[in-house]
Every structure is written in C-alpha cells, then in structure tokens.
Amino acid sequence: MTILITGGAGFIGANFVLDWLASSDEPVVNLDLLTYAGNLENLASLAGDPRHVFAQGDICDRAFVDSLFARHHPRAVVHFAAESHVDRSIHGPADFVRTNIEGTFTLLEAARAYWSGLAASARLDFRFLHVSTDEVYGSLGADDAPFSETTPYTPNSPYSASKAASDHLVRAWHHTYGLPVLTTNCSNNYGGYQFPEKLIPLVINNVLGGKPLPIYGDGKNVRDWLYVGDHCAAIREVLARGRVGETYNIGGWNEKTNLEIVHAICNLLDELAPNPQRPRSLDLITYVKDRPGHDRRYAIDARKIEHELGWRPSETFETGIRKTVAWYLAHQEWVGHILSGEYKQWIEKQYENQD
C-alpha cells in the first residue's frame, strides 16, 4: 500500500507528509518539482526513511507521472501541487495556468489510465483527492453567509481562476469517466514551513528584523484561518471516509481581519522574543497600496465535514498562532536559508514602488 503525493515539499504538502508518516507506516511517493516554494529542508527529518520516496519532477510531464504509477502502484493520489500566491499570479499568470490547470489535467489523465487498468477491487478502493482553496468562491460581504459546498464559483484573481478550473476538471473526470475523486476547499492555512511571502511568516520575519510590516489597504480584509495540522487531519479523514465525487470545505472557524492577525503576532513576539534594540512591533505597521482585485472577505462553513466525518479543528486561533510563532523562533536557520536569493528579489520587486 502506497500513496502518491504531489507538491509534498511545499508548505501544506510537507506538513501532510510528516503528519502521515508520524501516524502510519504506509509509504509515500512524494512528487515535487522543487520550484521556489518547494524545499527539501522541510523533509530533512525523513532522510534515510524508506517509507518516503522522493521523486523530483513536473506534474505536466505525462511520461514521468506514468512511470511513477507503473513503478509504485499507489492506492491513492493526494494532489497538493499548485502555484498558490495571489500576488505572484497577478504579476505572472502563465505559471498558474500551466501548473494548476495543465498540471491537474495531466495528473488526471495519468491517474485515469492507471485506474482503468486495475483489478476490480483495486478500482473500487482507489481515490484521487484534489486539494483546493476557498478563493474559488469569490468575495463575501460583511453580512453574507460563509461559503458552503454549493456556493457558486466566482474567482477574482488569476490564482483563484486557475484553481477553479482545476476543480471543474476534477469534477468532470468523475462524472464523465467515473474516476473516484474527492475535492477539498480550505481556508487560509498557517503553521511551520510556510514560505515567507505569506502574511503570517512575513510579519514574523519582518518584526524580528525590525523591518516595516506592509498592510494592504485598510487592513480590514477578512480571512478564515486554519492551522495546518488541523488541515492535515481533515484531509486524512476525507481520504479515508469521504464520499466519492463529493466536495468538503475545510475551515478553522476563525474569521480575522489582516490587522487583527498582525496585532496578534506583534504581541506574541514582544512576549516571546523581546528585544529592546528593535522598534516596538506595532510601530512597524505600514499601510501600502491595495493589490488589484483584493477580495474583501472569505469565510468557510465547515459543517458538512463535521456532520459526515466528525472532523472539527483542534486548534483555536490563539493556540495555533502561538505554536506558529514559537516554531519560527525555533527554526531561524531554516528561515535564513529561505530569506536568501530568489525570495529576497521577489520582496524587493513586490514592494519597491508601494507608498
């Protein structure tokens, strides 16, 4: 028994691989291209572990993907691999179309060919779990009900549009070809190993470096926040017991404005890592021009997965954010490696002309 994970050297994927092998002896074949956000340091604790087989490759490379299916005979695919940063999608949408749409198409076709050749019992047991985002649903008003699994898709960025397209492909491959798929749409994840272009690690790193904390617009955009460990637990439940063809929304029941997030991190850093040599953390907040098409609010209604599978997040935002800040403080060497090179150039480009 083996599962094939795509994007397993990225933030959520690596956390899932580590979580899976901490609680199961079932081997993992980990397919990752190791682009800027994929990092083998995330998996350093698995060095020499025969349960973890790493394969560097592109999900758009059909021959390579076919070879993994033929060699390892996985019982399931968990598809994390994606370009996932809205700002990057605005500056360069082509990579998002290629990876998120063409890559998912290639993976679906390879999985379908493999699944079609399985014995009847193995065909019944096979699963293709596609990990997606709440951003496909668009933006909510302040008083709108949270996103449910039946909310119409209205993506507003190149990133969310590419993920919406991939969701539709997954659904179509089930309804047209019978491929046994599952889809999850999650809210904003946070936790260890997150690439520091994202809000929470960006704020942590900037505070520790005494650098400005760039806040888009008025800072009142609302997101639901999900601790990555809770997300991994939810995916395990969906993979094990989810109904074939169904979508499950995974959320943390934690709606917070961006400004609330920044304040919480600043207060924790002043408590856990006080440094009289740097400015007071909250004094570093700097408002910058809002990004184009910035969705105002996301919120997830996660009652379906709770009612059907019994999953509910274990962490509150207060417990999860404390664990996250503590993780980054304890892993400054990892952070230092990430903060060099391509990421540094990206940050300079992203904010060079912001007021």
Residue 349, pLDDT score: 58
Please tell me whether residue 152 adopts helix, strand or coil conformation: coil
Query: Read out DSSP for 289-345?
Result: PPPTT---B--B--HHHHHHH----S--HHHHHHHHHHHHHHTHHHHHHHTSTHHHH
Q: What is the CA radius of gyration of the chain?
A: 20
CA 19 to chain centre: 15
Taking 60 as the threshold, does the pLDDT of residue 352 lie above it? no
Please tell me whether residue 129 adopts helix, strand or coil conformation: strand
Taking 50 as the threshold, does the pLDDT of residue 129 lie above it? yes
Q: pLDDT (tens digit, 9 = 90+) per residue, 68-98?
A: 999 999 999 999 999 988 888 999 999 999 9
Taking 60 as the threshold, does the pLDDT of residue 39 lie above it? yes
Catalytic residues: 134-135, 159
Domains in the chain, start-ordered, CATH in brackets?
3-189+227-252+294-314 (3.40.50.720)
Q: What is the mean pLDDT of residues 92-107?
A: 97
- CB 9, CB 29: distance < 8 Å: no
Taking 50 as the threshold, does the pLDDT of residue 257 lie above it? yes
Among positive and negative, which fits the CA dihedral 313, 148, 194, 292?
Answer: negative
Residue 127 is given by DSSP the state: E
Q: What is the mean pLDDT of residues 128-133?
A: 98
What distance, in Å, lies between the first and last C-alpha atoms of the chain?
54
Residue 278 in tokens: 């740097």
Scan for tokens 């910035």, then name that residue: 294
Query: Read out DSSP for 225-243?
Result: EEEHHHHHHHHHHHHHHPP
Q: pLDDT (tens digit, 9 = 90+) per residue, 271-313?
A: 999 999 998 999 999 999 988 888 999 999 999 999 999 999 9
CA distance 173 to 290: 38
Residue 351, pLDDT score: 46
Residue 24, pLDDT score: 94
- Work out the number of other CB atoms within 10 angstroms of the CB of residue 157: 22
The percentage of residues in the chain with a pLDDT greater than 70, rounded to a whole number, is 96
313-317: long-range pairs with CB below 8 Å, 24+: 313/226, 313/227, 313/230, 313/234, 313/251, 313/252, 313/253, 314/227, 314/229, 314/230, 314/233, 315/227, 315/229, 315/230, 315/252, 316/254, 317/225, 317/252, 317/254, 317/256, 317/264
Residue 197, pLDDT score: 81
Q: pLDDT (tens digit, 9 = 90+) per residue, 180-235?
A: 999 999 999 999 999 888 899 999 999 999 999 999 999 999 999 999 999 999 99
